[in-house]
Amino acid sequence: MKHAYYLYGSTSLDGRTLRESLEAALEVHFERRNSDYRGGEYFRFQGSEGLLTIEANYTDEDGCPVEEDFSDHGTLLYASDPSSSVVPVLNELTGLDLLRIDESE
């Protein structure tokens, strides 16, 4: 089975604003979570639409952003195996940029 991993980012939306926009657009509810590994507060949704996580592009112990190639994007959205109905919503959301798509078997 093929898996798809999308990375989106925003230079203008913070995590809470992006969460509110996605909850309204997708009619889902993100759980608020906290993890030092993910830079503190982040938001997670898992359902038939896929696994979505919203987190800050925080600076690690070495002073590098987690997604160094996209250091200008302060907010990140990871979408693992998003459903075909989710991708168009993400692609059209104002302030959200598609940064990368990875596929694997």
Distance between CA atoms of residues 20 and 23, nearest Å: 5
* H-assigned helices in 14-99: 15-26, 86-92
Contact 82, 49 (CB under 8 A): yes
Q: Read off the pLDDT of residues 19-48 as tens digits, 9 standing for 90 and up.
A: 999 999 999 999 999 987 777 899 999 999
Residue 59: per-residue pLDDT = 75
Q: How far is CA 19 from the centre of its chain?
A: 9
Q: What is the mean pLDDT of residues 43-66?
A: 88
DSSP secondary-structure letter at 71?
T
Average pLDDT score over the chain: 92
